[in-house]
Amino acid sequence: MNYSVEGGRTLSGSVETNRSKNAAVALLAASLLNRGTTTLKKMPRIEEVKRLIEVMESMGVSIEWRADGDIVIRPPAELSLANINAEAASKTRSIALFIAPLAHLSPSFELPAPKGCDLGKRSLGAHIDALSRLGITVVGNESAHTYSVVSAPMRPAEIIMYEASNTGTENALMAAAKIEGTSVIKFASADYMVQDLCFFLEACGIEVEGIGTSTLIVHGKKEIDSDIVAYPSEDPIESMFFFSLAATTGSQLTVERCPVDVLELELLTLESMGVRYSRSAPYMADNGRTRLVDITLENGTLQAPPEKIAARPFPGINTDNLPFFVPVATQAKGETLIHDWMYEGRAHYYLEMNKLGADVTLLDPHRALVKGPTPLRAADIEAPPALRPSTVILIGMLAAEGRSTLYNVYPINRGYENLHQRLAALGASVEAVEA
C-alpha cells in the first residue's frame, strides 16, 4: 500500500489514542503461559498483532478476534511447534517474546529469528543473559536463521540486566512467573509495556513487587490455569505522533486518552520548543491502573529547545518517541540536536526529511542536527523499513505544500490501525492506494 498525501493543510478536531502495540504483543505472548482462556480487550488491529496471531494459530492455539476488538485465546491440550509459521514469525521482532513462554511448554525447540524493524544491529543479548540465569539457554543458528532454545531444570534467580531492555525484561518476567520460588530482576525496564505485563501476571495470580521501578520481585508458581481478562493500556507513542503532527502543521488538535505518566518529559520538551497545550483532569484507563488525560495542542511560535533531545529509560523520553521531535524541529527557529543513542542506524533515516526541504545533518551514526525553520515541499519517498521513521516522513508530507507519495507503508501498518482514515477525519488529505 502507498499513501498519496496532499499536504499543507491546517488540521483540526479530536482523535482518540488507540491501545498500545508494545503492550498488545507482550500480552499475546504472555497468554501462552495460561492453560485457561485469556481475553485481551480492545486489541489494536495492526500488522504486528496479526503476525503473532498467525504464529500462535500455527501452533494450535484457538484465537477468536471479535468485532469489538476483543481477542479470546484458548490453548490446545498440547502445543505443536513442528509447523510453526516461519514466514509470519520472521516479519516481527516481537516473536522473541515467545522464547520464555514456550520454554515452559517444550524442553527444546527452534524459533524463527526475528527481523522486525531494520534499525541496525540490535542484539538479544539482554534476553539471552537473563534467561540463562533462570535455566533457559538461547543460541543463534545463523544458517537456519533460528534461535535454538533449551530449558534445563529451571530455577529462581537474581538477575542483573546489563541493559534495561523492554522485551528482555518481559522475557525474564514470563520465565520467572512459572518458576516456583522468588526471582529478582534488577535494572529492569519500568516502561509502560512492562507494567502492562506485570498487571497481566497479577491477574494470573503471580505476585510481582516493584511494578514501575527498576527492581522487580517475582513470586512464581508452577501452573497458571485460569480464565483471565486483561487490558492493554493506551499507546503513548501514538499520542506523541499526534502531538508532533499538531506542532509541525501548526494545527489545534485534541488527543484523547493519553497515558500522561509516560509522556510528561515529552510534553515538557515540546513546551520548551514553544508548543502550547492544555490538559484535562486525569481519569483511569480500562485496566484501572493507567492514568489518562486529554491533551489539546494549540498553534504557537516554535524555537529550538535549550538542550539536546535524547531518549532515556522510563520515565524519560521514550526511545520510540524521540523521532517525532525531528519534524517539529524542522519548523523551529534555531538548531536542534537529536541524540538517538540506542540505535546504530535510525538517525540515518532522519535525512529522508531533506527530500521534503528540511535541513538535517547527520553528525555521526547517533546524532542529527536539525536547522529550522524551513518550508517543506512535496516529494515522493519510499518508506524506510522502520516504523517510527516512516511515520515521521508522513508528518513531514502532511506539513509540506503539494502532493507527495509515501511508497510501501507496511511499516506504518505494523503499528497504527487505519491511520489514513483517522487523519482524514482531522481534515488531512491522505489516500491509501494499492501498490
What does the pLDDT look like over 308-323, one tens digit per residue? 999 998 999 999 999 9
Mean pLDDT of the chain: 94
Query: Which CATH code fits 2-18+234-433?
Result: 3.65.10.10
**pTM score:** 0.94
Most distant CA pair in the chain: distance in Å? 62
Q: What is the DSSP letter of 190?
A: -
* Alpha-carbon gap, residue 267 to 260, rounded angstroms: 9
* Alpha-carbon gap, residue 22 to 240, rounded angstroms: 15
Q: What is the DSSP letter of 318?
A: -
Lowest mean pLDDT among 132-136, 139-143, 207-211, 431-435: 139-143
Q: For 210-277, give the secondary structure using H, E and C.
A: CCCCCEEEEEECCCCCCCEEECCCECHHHHHHHHHHHHHHCCEEEEEEEEHHHCHHHHHHHHHCCCEE
Confidence class for position 426, pLDDT limits 50, 70, 90: very high
Exposure of 145 in the CB half-sphere (CA atoms within 13 A) = 9
Alpha-carbon distance values, 378 to 14, 108, 315, 385 (Å): 26, 52, 36, 21
pLDDT, tens digit, 9 for 90 and up, residues 166-204: 999 999 999 999 999 999 999 999 999 999 999 999 999
Q: Which of 402, 336, 403 is nearest to 373 (CA)?
A: 336
* Alpha-carbon gap, residue 376 to 248, rounded angstroms: 10
Confidence class for position 125, pLDDT limits 50, 70, 90: confident
pLDDT, tens digit, 9 for 90 and up, residues 44-101: 999 999 999 999 999 999 999 999 999 999 999 999 988 899 999 988 889 999 999 9
Element (H, E) at 297: strand 291-298
pLDDT at 278: 97
Interval 154-159 mean pLDDT = 96
Rounded to a whole number of angstroms, the distance between the first and last alpha carbons of the chain is: 5
Q: 3-class SS at 177?
A: helix
pLDDT at 5: 97
Contact 58, 70 (CB under 8 A): no
Asked if the peptide bond before residue 315 counts as cis, ω within 30 degrees of 0, the response is yes
Alpha-carbon distance values, 43 to 27, 230, 412, 414 (Å): 10, 10, 17, 13
Q: 3-class SS at 420?
A: helix
C-alpha cell at 427: 481534515
Instruction: Sketch the domain layout of the chain as residue ranges.
Output: 2-18+234-433, 21-230
User: Which sign does the torsion angle of CA 21, 342, 149, 144 carry?
Assistant: positive
Alpha-carbon distance values, 171 to 13, 227, 278, 356 (Å): 40, 22, 38, 40
User: With pLDDT > 70 as the criterion, what percentage of the chain qualifies?
Assistant: 98
The CATH architecture assigned to 21-230 reads Alpha-beta prism (3.65)
Confidence class for position 145, pLDDT limits 50, 70, 90: confident
β-pair partners for 258: 293
- Per CATH, 2-18+234-433 and 21-230 having the same topology is answered yes
Contact 73, 56 (CB under 8 A): yes
Q: Which of 192, 236, 172, 185 is nearest to 214 (CA)?
A: 185
* Alpha-carbon gap, residue 138 to 435, rounded angstroms: 39
Confidence class for position 303, pLDDT limits 50, 70, 90: very high
pLDDT at 120: 47
pLDDT at 122: 56
Q: Which residue has the higher pLDDT, 385 or 236?
A: 236
Interval 243-260 mean pLDDT = 98
106: amino acid identity, one letter: S
Confidence class for position 142, pLDDT limits 50, 70, 90: confident
> Look-up: residue for cell 535525512?
351
Confidence class for position 152, pLDDT limits 50, 70, 90: confident
Q: How far is CA 408 from the centre of its chain?
A: 20
* Alpha-carbon gap, residue 83 to 60, rounded angstroms: 9
Q: Which of 157, 105, 95 is nearest to 130 (CA)?
A: 157
User: Which sign does the torsion angle of CA 163, 168, 170, 175 carry?
Assistant: negative
